Amino acid sequence: MPKNTIQPNGWVALRLPNENLRVLQVIPNATISLGKYGSFPSNLLIERPFHLTYEVQDKREGETFSRLRVVPASELNADQLADTSAIEELKRKGASAGKELIAKLMLSHTALDQKTAFSLAKYKLLKERKFLRRFAVLPLDVTLLAQWTLEDRDPGKIMDMRQEALGLVGCWADVHFGGLPMEGASGPHGGRWLAVDDTGGLLVAAMAERMGLLHREDDEGAALEYPTAEAKEQGTEAAPQLPADSSDTKPLAPCTSPKTQRSSRKRPRRDDLEDHYSLTNTITVIHANSQPNLSLLRYFDYDATDPNPSHPYHPLVTHLLPISWLQLVSPDQDPTYADKPVEASPEEMAAWKTNRRGNYHRKRRRWARTRQIINNTRAGGFYGLAVASTMDPVSVLRHALPLLAGGSPIAIYSPNVEPLTQLADCFNIARRTAWTASPPPEVEGKTAAELERWAGTPEFPINPTLVLGATIQTSRARRWQVLPGRTHPFMTARGGPEGYVFTGWRAIPAEGKISARGRYQKKRADGS
């Protein structure tokens, strides 16, 4: 579970007075700049709780940094009217006089009494956003990350995926904690989900959050080692915490390094060919490149590009299984899987140099990881499928459906409805009835396993009996202005694609002839 306090080198979201989000990493002994709202030392936030509102104060005499003041809840909602005073003098006072300045501006307004209650509240809000130097610290979760990327960054990177669509995909794919490993089990079991993610890791992050895999669980791995009194005597100054509303303490002294390092415990030594990944509660992500694009997971302290992560591991290190389409469809053509490393005796390795021995063990571990991922994925039995990809959904399902267990849910997101409409048409009742009544000549003599992987024809792009309950839906929450005679959605809401979700369930077609059983009594016609 995520911690309740701000951690060093952790990612947070700052909500500014203008309602914009600022996502940043709280690096110890650095300066956080908020533009016109001021700047302050990052150490003032470390080990502080989330969901507090701070105000940036002016620099005191003899100090080179700005302090923070915790704004109490009573002050956040207090009335700001006061007696008239010199507004220009308050402007020169800066941040500490922002609240009073707004009150004086409102009282100096010549037509203030002519404003309606709504207009007065709107005017007051605009002045607060302009003059108050406040911000709220929020924990960075998947919802905030999606909102920030959609509104302030690059929405095309996440396929314009809104929070509503992200929640629909997770719900309809039935993503949840898959259970603990069973004792004595040697093969995949329990909850395992299949994913195709072209959103930079946003879909995988949402799934991992539902499965309890997004955040580090152990406190020891995230424990920080601050310099002690003994270290101070040796020339390293300690770094005491500065309360945000304190006036008698000093700022944190700089440490010896800009970043606080984790405890550098080495991974326990084991056999190179042992199973690396967990057998249950896993996410298998299929990608089209040499490695998946999961860059957004770095905001949750996971680096998908690091082949040798430090111990203790992030949960996704052993529960996120990346596999390429080449490895899934034709594993023998993948050199990493096909070329097994040569065996070397201990006597031979003893004569090697250190670099050669390291390369030998790395190649063996990489081959073992690749073999485990490919074999477990091709064995199938997944609990559900979640897709957010620019690929043709028909081609995705053609290779992903045989890997799902019977009754598994399917959820596919697309920013536009046309690809999903074509996909849903492949599983409509008329097409399924035509398949059952007169199957195409190409499927005659094929087994059930071969029909699941059938390449399809223009009339039947995919086996229509493999999915039941195919539907398309969309959902979008809009903010509304509610006033007498002026009730309408906010005109400043973001446009862009609506986003649609295809849902269905994996079906196992019955083999052989199907006949009804039971006692049937023909009704007699009237007058007989």
Same-domain check for residues 340 and 280: yes
In a domain, 528, yes or no: no
- Average pLDDT rounded to a whole number, residues 16-39: 90
pLDDT at residue 435 above 80? yes
- Average pLDDT rounded to a whole number, residues 443-460: 87
In a domain, 231, yes or no: no
Percent of the chain with pLDDT over 70: 76
Tell me the H-state helices in 268-353: 315-319, 325-329, 335-338, 346-350
Region of residue 525 (left: phi > 0; alpha: psi -120 to 50; beta: else): beta
Same-domain check for residues 116 and 187: no
Percent of the chain with pLDDT over 90: 45
Confidence of residue 441 (pLDDT cuts 50, 70, 90): confident
d(CA 293, CA 324): 12
Same-domain check for residues 129 and 93: yes
Same-domain check for residues 281 and 399: yes
Same-domain check for residues 472 and 387: yes
Same-domain check for residues 392 and 343: yes
d(CA 215, CA 51): 19
Confidence of residue 512 (pLDDT cuts 50, 70, 90): low
Of the candidates 468, 458, 401, which has an alpha carbon nearest to the alpha carbon of residue 428? 468
pLDDT in tens, 293-336: 999 999 999 998 887 787 778 999 999 999 999 999 999 999 98
pLDDT attached to residue 190: 84
Same-domain check for residues 126 and 158: no
Confidence of residue 107 (pLDDT cuts 50, 70, 90): low
User: Which one has a higher pLDDT value, 104 or 163?
Assistant: 163
In a domain, 263, yes or no: no
Same-domain check for residues 121 and 65: yes
In a domain, 169, yes or no: yes
Cα-flanking dihedrals φ and ψ of residue 30, to 5°? -125, 175
Q: In the predicted model, what is the mean pLDDT of the chain?
A: 81
In a domain, 446, yes or no: no
- State the residue range of the domain holding 126: 5-139
Q: Strands 53-56 and 134-139: what pairing?
A: antiparallel
pLDDT attached to residue 269: 57
d(CA 317, CA 313): 6
Give the chain's domain count.
Answer: 2
CB contact at 8 A, 27 and 258: yes
pLDDT at residue 397 above 80? yes
In a domain, 255, yes or no: no
In a domain, 377, yes or no: yes
Same-domain check for residues 169 and 89: no
pLDDT at residue 258 above 50? no
pLDDT at residue 232 above 80? no
- Average pLDDT rounded to a whole number, residues 283-292: 94
- Average pLDDT rounded to a whole number, residues 266-281: 77
C-alpha pair distances (Å), 194 with each of 105, 179, 411, 505: 58, 16, 11, 14
pLDDT attached to residue 120: 65
Q: Which CATH number do you get for residue 329?
A: 3.40.50.150
pLDDT attached to residue 276: 86
CA angle (148 as vertex; 142, 153 as ends), nearest 5: 125
- Average pLDDT rounded to a whole number, residues 343-363: 88
Same-domain check for residues 158 and 126: no
pLDDT at residue 136 above 80? yes
In a domain, 404, yes or no: yes
Q: Which CATH number do you get for residue 101?
A: 3.10.330.20
Same-domain check for residues 314 and 353: yes
d(CA 466, CA 406): 9
pLDDT at residue 256 above 90? no
pLDDT attached to residue 322: 95
